[in-house]
Amino acid sequence: MLAFIWAEAHNHVIGSKGELPWHLPDDLQFFKRQTSQHQILAGARTYASFKRPLPNRKNLVLTHRNATEFPAEVLVFSTLSEFLQYANEFKNDLIFVVGGSIIFRQLLPYTQFLYRTTIDATVPGDTYMISINYDDFVRQEVIAGAHNEQFPHQFEIFARKTVAKGSPDANKFL
């Protein structure tokens, strides 16, 4: 099963110059708690922002770059269909999609869960979250963020109401 996980400001900013445009230790801990012991999928630029493979997770990258550009423990996919075939083998496990926006756009029709950190601020940035029709999802949980952080924030978890229409392989991930 695929799940998106990301943090976004009111103006939908998710990144600036290859980095997060805020420092929220509470959000980093939420990300770690949710993704540890799971697989995570990133695009090449998002993966590069990690500086190294994230520990306690199987790191996957979807990119047109050569697999030899990544550490040996990173599993690299060169096409979306190659990744979807792999994901189908793990349809009972959560694979967290961590960005960037191109990967989110490509995989939205196949995604069952959304883990969104909503940041109560408008911040400058150069990378924006894709538009998601939240009518296709039901909000399952809202968790208040820590109060002593740079910006107020909350964590929200959504589940897809139905299988995405127009996605012939979507039901393989249920």
User: What is the mean pLDDT of the segment spanning 51-56?
Assistant: 94
Cβ atoms of residues 8 and 119 within 8 Å: yes
User: What is the mean pLDDT of the segment spanning 121-126?
Assistant: 96
Q: Which domains does the chain have, with CATH numbers?
A: 13-164 (3.40.430.10)
Phi, psi of 118 (to 5 degrees): -100, 120
159: three-class secondary structure by DSSP: strand
Q: How far apart are CA 130 and CA 119, in angstroms?
A: 16
Helical H runs in 36-151? 44-50, 80-89, 101-107
Helix (H), strand (E) counts: the chain: 4, 10
Largest CA distance in the chain: 45
Whether the predicted pLDDT of 170 surpasses 50: no
pLDDT tens profile 129-148: 999 999 999 999 999 999 99
Q: For position 171, what pLDDT does the model report? A: 40
